[in-house]
Chains A and B, each alone.
Chain A
Amino acid sequence: MDYVPHTPEDQKQMTEIIGIKTVDELFADIPEKYKLKGLLDLPHGCSEQEVAALMKGISTRNAVPPITLMGAGAYNHYIPAVVGHVISRSEFYTAYTPYQAEISQGILQAIYEYQTMIARLTGMQVANASMYDGASAMAEAAVLAAKTLSREKIVIVRSVHPEYRQVVGTYAWANGYEVVEIPYGKSGQLDRDALSNAVDDRTAAVLVQTPNFFGVVEDIAAIEHMVHAKGALLVSAFTEATSLGILKPAGEMGADFVVGEGQGFGNPMNYGGPYLGIFASTDKFLRKIPGRLAGATVDKDGKRGFVLTLQTREQHIRRERATSNICSNEALCALAAAVYLVSLGKNLRKLAELNIQKAHYLKCKLSELAGWEGVFTAPVYNEFVIHCPDPKMANRKLEAAGIIGAYDLEKDYPELGNSLLFCATEMLTRGDIDRVVSLVA
Chain B
Amino acid sequence: MELIFEKSRPGRIATSIPEADVPEVAITDIIDKGLLREDVDLPEVAEVDLIRHYTQLSKRNFGVDVGFYPLGSCTMKYNPKINEEVSRLPGFTSLHPYSPVKFSQGSLQIMYELRQYLSEIFGMADFALQPAAGAQGELTGVMVIKKYFEKKGQKRTKILIPDTAHGTNPASSALCGYSVVTVRSNAEGGVDIGQLRELMTKDVAGLMITNPNTLGLFERNIEQVSEIVHGRGGILYCDGANANAFMGATKPGDLGIDVIQLNLHKTFSTPHGCGGPGSGPVGVRKDLVWYLPVPRVIKKGKRYDWKYEFPDSIGRVKVFYGNFNVMVKAYTYIRSLGPGGLKKASETAVLNANYIKERLRAWYDLPYDRICMHECVFSGKRQVKESGVHTSDIAKRLLDYGYHPPTIYFPLIVPEAIMIEPNETESKETLDAFCDTMIAIAKEAKENPELVKSAPLTTVVRRLDEVKAAREPDVCWGRV
Contact with B along A286-319 (1 / 0, CB 8 A): 1000001111111111011111011110111111
Interface residue from B95, B135, B338 paired with A325 (Cβ < 8 Å): B135
Contact B272 A97 (CB under 8 A): yes
Is B318 an interface residue, CB under 8 A from the partner? yes
Interface residues on B, range: 35 or more
Can you list 7 A-B contacts (CB < 8 A)? A59-B89, A91-B63, A101-B464, A174-B146, A297-B465, A325-B171, A332-B277
Measured in the bound complex, the distance between the Cα atoms of B395 and A14 in whole Å is 25
Contact A91 B12 (CB under 8 A): no
With a CB–CB cut-off of 8 A, which chain A residues contact B93?
Answer: 268-270
> How many residue pairs at the A-B interface have CB separations less than 8 Å?
672
Measured in the bound complex, the distance between the Cα atoms of B217 and A247 in whole Å is 55
Contact B175 A327 (CB under 8 A): no
Q: How close is B73's CB to chain A, nearest CB, in angstroms?
A: 11
Which of A1-9, A196-204, A226-234 lies on the face that meets chain B?
A: A1-9
Q: How close is B279's CB to chain A, nearest CB, in angstroms?
A: 8
Contact A62 B105 (CB under 8 A): yes
Give the residue among A261, A354, A358 with the most B Cβ atoms within 10 A.
A354
Interface residues on A, range: 35 or more
Is B187 an interface residue, CB under 8 A from the partner? no
Measured in the bound complex, the distance between the Cα atoms of B343 and A63 in whole Å is 35
Give residues 28-44 of A contacting B (CB, 8 Å).
28-31, 34-36, 39-44
Which of B196-204, B281-289, B353-361, B440-448 lies on the face that meets chain A?
A: B353-361
With A94-B63, A269-B93 as contacts: A295 and B399 at CB distance below 8 Å? no
With A3-B424, A272-B97 as contacts: A342 and B43 at CB distance below 8 Å? yes
Is A370 an interface residue, CB under 8 A from the partner? no
Is B195 an interface residue, CB under 8 A from the partner? no
Contact B66 A91 (CB under 8 A): yes
Measured in the bound complex, the distance between the Cα atoms of B373 and A3 in whole Å is 19
Contact with B along A316-352 (1 / 0, CB 8 A): 1111111011111111110100010111111111110
Q: How close is A309's CB to chain B, nearest CB, in angstroms?
A: 4
Contact B315 A166 (CB under 8 A): yes
Measured in the bound complex, the distance between the Cα atoms of B3 and A109 in whole Å is 8
Interface residue from A36, A92, A125, A135 paired with B61 (Cβ < 8 Å): A92
With a CB–CB cut-off of 8 A, which chain B residues contact A245?
Answer: 40
Contact A45 B171 (CB under 8 A): no
With A271-B97, A345-B43 as contacts: A2 and B344 at CB distance below 8 Å? yes
Contact A63 B341 (CB under 8 A): no
Interface residue from B174, B337, B475 paired with A294 (Cβ < 8 Å): B475
Measured in the bound complex, the distance between the Cα atoms of B95 and A404 in whole Å is 9
Contact B274 A324 (CB under 8 A): no
With A73-B319, A332-B276 as contacts: A54 and B50 at CB distance below 8 Å? no
Give the residue among A60, A106, A356, A379 with the most B Cβ atoms within 10 A.
A106
Measured in the bound complex, the distance between the Cα atoms of B174 and A175 in whole Å is 8
Interface residue from B61, B77, B316, B339 paired with A105 (Cβ < 8 Å): B61
Contact B106 A331 (CB under 8 A): no
Measured in the bound complex, the distance between the Cα atoms of B239 and A248 in whole Å is 44
Give the residue among A91, A273, A430 with the most B Cβ atoms within 10 A.
A273
Is B437 an interface residue, CB under 8 A from the partner? no
With a CB–CB cut-off of 8 A, which chain B residues contact A132?
Answer: 132-133, 136, 276, 318
With A14-B355, A361-B23 as contacts: A4 and B274 at CB distance below 8 Å? no
Measured in the bound complex, the distance between the Cα atoms of B41 and A348 in whole Å is 10
Is B384 an interface residue, CB under 8 A from the partner? no
Contact B91 A125 (CB under 8 A): no
Interface residue from B15, B94, B315, B318 paired with A64 (Cβ < 8 Å): B94
With a CB–CB cut-off of 8 A, which chain B residues contact A13?
Answer: 428
Q: How close is A395's CB to chain B, nearest CB, in angstroms?
A: 8
With a CB–CB cut-off of 8 A, which chain A residues contact B155?
Answer: none
Interface residue from A93, A261, A269, A317 paired with B79 (Cβ < 8 Å): A93
Give residues 69-108 of B contacting A (CB, 8 Å).
69, 71, 74, 76-80, 82, 84-86, 89-100, 102-107
Q: How close is A262's CB to chain B, nearest CB, in angstroms?
A: 12
Is A82 an interface residue, CB under 8 A from the partner? yes
Measured in the bound complex, the distance between the Cα atoms of B217 and A221 in whole Å is 57
Is B375 an interface residue, CB under 8 A from the partner? no
Q: How close is A194's CB to chain B, nearest CB, in angstroms?
A: 21
Interface residue from B69, B95, B324 paired with A96 (Cβ < 8 Å): B69
Taking A132-B133, A274-B326, A330-B276 as known contacts, 8 extra A-B pairs with beta carbons closer than 8 A to each other, sorted by chain A number, are A34-B255, A74-B97, A89-B54, A161-B319, A272-B319, A274-B276, A297-B466, A330-B132
| B265: nearest chain-A partner, CB-CB | A328
With A15-B351, A175-B176, A315-B168 as contacts: A299 and B463 at CB distance below 8 Å? yes
Measured in the bound complex, the distance between the Cα atoms of B64 and A245 in whole Å is 36
Is A164 an interface residue, CB under 8 A from the partner? yes
Is B120 an interface residue, CB under 8 A from the partner? yes
Contact B18 A17 (CB under 8 A): no
Q: How close is A407's CB to chain B, nearest CB, in angstroms?
A: 6
Contact A93 B271 (CB under 8 A): yes
With a CB–CB cut-off of 8 A, which chain A residues contact B312?
Answer: none
| B93: nearest chain-A partner, CB-CB | A268
| A111: nearest chain-B partner, CB-CB | B274
Measured in the bound complex, the distance between the Cα atoms of B50 and A309 in whole Å is 26
Measured in the bound complex, the distance between the Cα atoms of B167 and A314 in whole Å is 9
